[in-house]
Chain A
Amino acid sequence: MSFSKTRTRITRTLAAVASVAALTFILLPAQAAAGLNIVATTSSLGALAREIGGDEAEVRVLAPPDRDAHYLDARPSFMAALRRADLLLEMGAGLEEGWLPAAQRGARNRAINSGQPGHFRAADKVELRRSITKDGPNMGHVHEEGNPHFNADPLRMAEIGLALGERMGELRPDHAEAFMERAEAAAERLREHAEKLAERVEPDQRIVVYHEDLDYLEEWLPVEIVGYLEPAPGIPPTARHLRSLVGDLEGTDGAVLYAVFQPERGAEFLERHLGWPTHAVRLDPPDEKALEGYLELMTTWAEALSQR
């Protein structure tokens, strides 16, 4: 079997494929230049992008807002959306590692490759809290970079908004000024709203959460996380762990917060044995809304705590 012959053949075929590729690229109608086509992994990022982009951006959110963004499939529809995107927004720090790399590769769109201006990784723009996943034994769910659930912190979201406004301006210089103005306004509203909500909450609140996905509430509300329903990140509550939580917290006051997609049984156990109120909260705002949706979500988090 002749090796060089095979190679020539492959080279020739590749050359043919390349010419077709080049031709198609030239002939494809140029994308509507005005609107920035943004794909965001979560609806928190989507809300920021909508607010900053206004009429100059089309925003599509991949993760359903009431689902755990850790565990999704790299769906064909995600790749179809990313194929046409000018800008991909991700939280990063491992939140989407189970599915986004596969979707990005499958999208065949260089503009959104890691390292390109069309790829925006929010975790790069803010300092992250240390993740508790680094404390326990390595059970395959370790966030080395830090806790990726910073969407629960409006102050960090404000910083991310500013960085995002700048990036969107780099991609569409014509609108750079408008993007930056809206980003600044959004940051201002986030900080004001956070301050206002924090003032209404009774000081020194204590909460138990399910996963480390609400830890960032500590950054802007007068609240302290005193326990997790999960014995280790990614492992559902065990009876033994819940009993030990009850033992530790007996006789104290607090509340239990968990995400709408998390099982309620652990929270109910604490409610029965400690008398603590439980609240199923959303982690991300409903899709299709701009900043307003995120501000309302902040309110639901704050109002799950005792009010002055």
Chain B
Amino acid sequence: MPNHTNLFRPALGGLTALALAVPASATAQQWETRAGDRNWGLDISLILEGIYYNELSHGISEPAGFDDGHDHGHGDGHDHGGFDDGFNLGHNELAFEANLGDLFDGFLMLGFDEDHLDVEEAYLTTRALPGGFQVKAGKFLSDIGYINSRHGHDWDFVDRPLVNEYLFGDHGLQETGVQATWLAPTATYTKLGVELLQGDNSFIPYQGSGGSHTTNAGDEIGSSFSDVSGPRLVTAFAKFGPDLGPDHAAQFGISGGYARTWQEETEHGSGLEEWDGDAWFAGLDAVYKYSSGRAYGHGDWRLQGEYFYREIDVDYQRREDQTTIAGNAQGSGKARQDGLYIQGVYGFAPRWEAGLRSEALGLTNRGLPTNEGSERNFAEPSFGTSYRHSAQITFRPVEPVFLRAQLSQNDFVDEDGDRDRGLEFMLQLNVALGAHGAHRF
């Protein structure tokens, strides 16, 4: 999708929010600028990243069962997960932050590598709604789970956890829409939120009507999908953070979402495969941080984990031409898949951290319905579980710079049930220049 469309939609969302917030703010106390408050300008920051990647031994490239849906909408090969052997310009970001009085904060983040420039996020956040409410409108990273809404330079490992990448896409759940959140006036941090999202580029593929495919035999097959207007995805989340004193802090989250449409197709020389249905997901996340009180993060701990489950309920058909079903390749079924990771990072010396991460993908791994054999019989395939284990060491010579070495062993299973191990080494250099925004918990 061209970038100008991406910019246009957030702007519309923002205007809607503006129309809504202005009358609300009129009832609140009048706002005034006090001299000396410097938080009004435009802050710009640039994050540059370089990655050296070396595949020490090759295992299985992709975990079984996650072909469809994954990587959808990124036919351009803009893939954060897959590095070339050798040097890579990593994931670079240019972020702009500004505010309109104390009414709105605006945020724009452009992500780029050698070949591509994407609008990763472009949204307005209200700052003046009463009663603990906040509305965010535009294109943004969904607040489901923990890592989904965080950019790469805030991660503790070079790459995105498998569960986030394979359930929600290479950018995570990143959508255009509106988010409303409410913070309860309680001593325990309690945040509730809902999001209405367009739903066409990450977790839910969307095709719409009007498409067609011409087979090698010259038959034109018209798409069987119907148009479904957005927003097609709704999510909800709750986060809790008890006050544990100066040394400890924790946050627990529960989130879920429902996509009222899930449309995917695969074109073949001999015909067209189509999946049409809906999907939902739910997950839990937790993060705990220990602060030792010593300088440069020495003795600090961070523990974090997430689990997500999703179900896709679809009608499936494979056609040879407009009306002929290939063999018996037709039916309804459910894909049921999940994944989790748990990781810990410890500051073993001033400015030095070491971390371990363990991941499992497809503990439940029922794939999308498909067809089998030359008879093209309807089938609901089931796959094994894939694992990955990673270890990292990070050095922060100065505040805005880190150098990270990571070793990952993947233990993936393929579609035939064969298992193989691969070993990857990554060296990441990440530098933040300019104003760097405050760190979220």
Contacts and interface: CB of A to CB of B under 8 A. Distances in A.
* Bound pair (A, B): yes
B39 A114 contact: yes
A73 B249 contact: yes
A177 B130 CA distance: 30
B229 interface: yes
Given A80-B241, A113-B128, A114-B102, A140 B133 contact: no
Given A76-B251, A108-B183, A124 B102 contact: no
B269 interface: no
Contacts of B17: 14
Given A80-B189, A107-B183, 9 more contacts: A1-B208, A14-B20, A21-B129, A80-B183, A102-B437, A106-B440, A108-B134, A123-B36, A141-B399
Given A14-B135, A98-B438, A115 B32 contact: yes
Interface of A: 1-2, 5-7, 9-11, 13-15, 17-18, 21-22, 24-25, 28, 64, 66-68, 71, 73-77, 79-81, 83-84, 97-103, 105-111, 113-117, 119, 121, 123-124, 139-141, 145, 234-236, 261-263
B38 A17 contact: no
A119 B189 CA distance: 21
A191 B239 CA distance: 47
Given A10-B13, A110-B130, A77 B439 contact: no
A302 to B, nearest CB: 25
B241 A76 contact: yes
Contact of A100 (B130, B182, B438): B438
B104 to A, nearest CB: 11
Interface string B227-258: 10111000000011111101001010000000
A139 B439 contact: no
Contacts of B208: 1
A186 B227 CA distance: 70
Interface residues of B, number: 83
B438 A17 contact: no
Contacts of B182: 21, 24, 108
B183 A261 contact: no
B131 to A, nearest CB: 4
A99 B198 CA distance: 32
Contacts of A7: 12, 16
Nearest to A137: B398
3 interchain residue pairs of minimum CB distance: A76-B241, A76-B189, A124-B36
A10 to B, nearest CB: 6
Nearest to A26: B131
Contacts, number: 202
Interface in B281-328: 289, 291, 293-298
Given A1-B229, A14-B17, A140-B436, A236 B350 contact: yes
B189 A21 contact: no
B155 interface: no
B132 A83 contact: yes
B295 A262 contact: yes
Given A14-B135, A114-B39, A234-B399, A102 B127 contact: no
Given A102-B440, A139-B398, A110 B129 contact: yes
A108 B186 CA distance: 13
B229 A236 contact: no
B24 interface: yes
Contacts of B440: 74, 102, 106
A102 B125 CA distance: 12
A73 B229 contact: no
21 contacts: A2-B229, A5-B229, A6-B198, A9-B196, A10-B177, A21-B182, A24-B133, A25-B130, A75-B241, A76-B239, A80-B190, A98-B439, A100-B438, A110-B28, A110-B102, A110-B129, A113-B31, A114-B102, A234-B399, A236-B295, A263-B295
A165 to B, nearest CB: 17
B291 A124 contact: no
A74 B130 contact: no
Most buried by B among A76, A79, A81: A76
A83 B293 contact: no
Given A6-B229, A73-B439, A124 B37 contact: yes
A115 B399 contact: no
A42 B131 CA distance: 27
B116 interface: no
B199 to A, nearest CB: 11
Most buried by B among A64, A75, A117, A121: A75
Contact of A66 (B28, B293, B350, B432): B293
A64 B247 CA distance: 9
A25 B198 CA distance: 29
Contacts of B297: 71
Contacts of B180: 14, 17
Given A10-B231, A67-B246, A21 B24 contact: yes
Contacts of A13: 178, 196
A21 B439 contact: no
Contacts of A81: 187, 243
Given A21-B130, A115-B102, A10 B178 contact: yes
B118 interface: no
Contacts of A6: 198, 229-231
Contact of B102 (A28, A108, A116): A116
Contacts of A124: 34-37
Contact of B398 (A98, A119, A145, A235): A235
Nearest to B302: A73
Contacts of B187: 77, 80-81
Contacts of A234: 398-399
Given A74-B439, A75-B441, A140 B295 contact: no
A100 B440 CA distance: 10
Given A83-B132, A105-B125, A108-B183, A261 B295 contact: yes
Given A10-B196, A109-B132, A121 B230 contact: no
Contact of B16 (A5, A10, A100, A114): A10
B101 interface: yes
